[in-house]
């Protein structure tokens, strides 16, 4: 019982990070959260809860097919809590909240950034879970964004020749596609450099570790895919080795995106290269993991 509950929470967290990460790299949201008064923050939180409640009535992050009114409210409260916790983790990772941050500023950032994270919890199953063809078509018609992403990844997945090498190459392909889909719009922004500049060197190791853990949770711990099936489909029979290889692909993709948008050049010191690539590697890791479970 507790295993199923833990898997449901992991599934909710996976959707939370997928939806919340892009808005996290937005300096305007940081500023709005820092300057908003308490009453407006309360209103934002109330509106977020109402939206989460409406989405939970359609389909929550658990596998229940019929949700009673009381269960809907309780699951909505839980979804809001998971979203806020995930937002707090992300803000701490990117050092947008530190021990020196005033409480009012930290709370404002957390509530505003928690909006997409909380919505992601309720939409986790609709966008990330593998379903029967008819179910997929219905959900894709309801969620246009999911339709485009799934279509691209599925076409790539169909190129597999059925061999272990072919499946491994497909995993690399969809990891690259997912990373680009999520991180491409973030790469040209100044937020990457701002965040990287505010991190001490040792903190970059924390971000790397978090990127690996989040990627592992999305693919192997959330229950979106059959773990046994994944460990038999390619050359990388271990979840650890697959996660590490995917992260290498993600870092390479992040480097290329930053160079493409001229955010890095040969004149920049290697420390700046390293910091910017690792910071962009966090959302790219989330996208790469989503690509692997949707393919």
Intra-chain end-to-end CA distance of the chain, in Å:
29
98 plus 148 within the same structural domain: no
Q: How far apart are CA 240 and CA 250, in angstroms?
A: 15
How large is the C-alpha radius of gyration of the chain?
A: 19
Q: How far apart are CA 139 and CA 125, in angstroms?
A: 10
Mean pLDDT by 10 residues, the chain (295 residues): 77 87 87 87 94 83 65 88 94 92 91 92 74 45 48 50 68 91 92 93 95 91 65 65 92 96 92 95 93 80
Q: Which residues of 22-57 are buried (b: 16+ CB within 10 A; e: fewer)?
A: bbbbeeebbeebbebeeeebeebbeebbebbbebbe
Q: Is the dihedral of CA 108, 112, 117, 123 positive or negative?
A: positive
284 plus 179 within the same structural domain: yes
Domain end marker among 127, 156, 191: 127
Length of the chain: 295
120 plus 165 within the same structural domain: no
Question: Per the domain annotation, does 132 fall within a domain?
Answer: no
Q: Residue 193: what pLDDT?
A: 93
Q: Residue 56: what pLDDT?
A: 84
Token duo for residue 150: 């799934």
250 plus 110 within the same structural domain: no
Domain end marker among 96, 127, 158: 127
Domain that holds residue 93: 2-127
Domain end marker among 76, 93, 127: 127
Q: How far apart are CA 82 and CA 48, in angstroms?
A: 13
171 plus 290 within the same structural domain: yes
112 plus 220 within the same structural domain: no
Question: Per the domain annotation, does 228 fall within a domain?
Answer: yes
Whole-prediction pTM: 0.82
90 plus 174 within the same structural domain: no
121 plus 175 within the same structural domain: no
Q: How far apart are CA 153 and CA 170, in angstroms?
A: 9
Question: Per the domain annotation, does 261 fall within a domain?
Answer: yes
Question: Per the domain annotation, does 198 fall within a domain?
Answer: yes
Count of domains in the chain? 2
């Amino acid at each position: 019982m507790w295993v199923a509950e833990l898997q449901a929470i992991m599934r909710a967290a996976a959707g939370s990070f997928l939806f919340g990460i892009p808005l996290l790299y937005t300096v305007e949201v940081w500023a709005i959260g820092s300057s908003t008064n308490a009453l407006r923050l309360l209103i934002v939180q109330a509106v977020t809860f109402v939206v989460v409640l409406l989405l939970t009535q359609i389909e929550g992050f658990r596998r229940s097919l019929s949700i009673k009114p009381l269960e809907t409210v309780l699951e909505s409260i839980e979804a809001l809590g998971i979203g806020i916790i995930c937002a707090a983790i992300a803000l701490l990772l990117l050092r947008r909240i530190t021990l020196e941050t005033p409480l009012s500023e930290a709370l404002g950032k957390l509530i505003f950034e928690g909006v997409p994270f909380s919505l992601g919890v309720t939409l986790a199953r609709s966008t990330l879970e593998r379903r029967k063809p008819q179910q997929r078509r219905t959900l894709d018609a309801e969620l246009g964004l999911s339709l485009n992403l799934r279509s691209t990844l599925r076409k790539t997945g169909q190129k597999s020749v059925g061999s272990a090498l072919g499946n491994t190459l497909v995993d690399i392909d969809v990891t690259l596609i997912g990373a680009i889909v999520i991180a491409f719009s973030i790469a040209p922004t100044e937020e990457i450099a701002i965040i990287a500049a505010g991190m001490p060197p040792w903190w970059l190791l924390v971000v790397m570790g978090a990127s690996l853990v989040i990627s592992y949770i999305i693919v192997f711990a959330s229950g979106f895919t059959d773990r046994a099936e994944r460990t038999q489909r390619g050359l990388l029979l271990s979840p650890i080795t697959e996660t590490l290889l995917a992260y290498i692909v993600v870092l390479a993709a992040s480097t290329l995106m930053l160079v493409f948008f001229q955010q890095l050049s040969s004149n920049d010191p290697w420390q700046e290269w390293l910091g910017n690539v690792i910071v962009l590697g966090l959302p790219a890791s989330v996208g790469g993991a989503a690509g692997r479970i949707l393919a």
